[in-house]
Amino acid sequence: MTVNRFAMAGMLIVSSAFVAVAGNDTAVKLVGVWEVTKSKGPLGGTVEFTKEGKIRIRIKIKDKNVEIDGSYKLENEKIIATLNFGGKSKTDSLKIKKLNDTELHIEDEKGMTEEFKRLK
């Protein structure tokens, strides 16, 4: 009987954690595929945020397709992204300036902004 109570308590705690993450409006809105519409870099690339905390960047530089994968987490209104490319890892903090169902605007640590539109 005691084991069942601990199991139920554990399930409730885990369920509450999932609801807290899923209920976060920023987290819910961020998940999806976004196309770069304004940037100092190449336009037309995509960034995908998954609900599992993965990030996938796909861009074309000249005639070469570049794929960068990594992970992200949200801290307040910031995206903390760790990207892996060429055997190296880099972590960046990106401030969310605007996020709604169709637009995402972010600013990096140097003040450079990028704008994205959601792809369907």
The answer regarding whether domain 2-118 maps to CATH 2.40.170.20 reads: no
Using the Cα atoms of residue 54, residue 107, residue 59 and residue 67 in order, give the sign of their dihedral: negative
DSSP 90-112: EEEEEEEEEESSSEEEEE-TTS-
pTM of the model: 0.77
Average pLDDT, the chain: 83
Backbone angles phi, psi at 77, to 5 degrees: -110, 35
Instruction: Compute the C-alpha angle 54/57/58, nearest 5°.
Output: 140
Give the domain ranges of the chain: 2-118
Distance between CA 43 and CA 115 in Å, rounded? 10
Confidence check: pLDDT of 55 > 80: yes
Q: What is the model's pLDDT at position 5?
A: 40
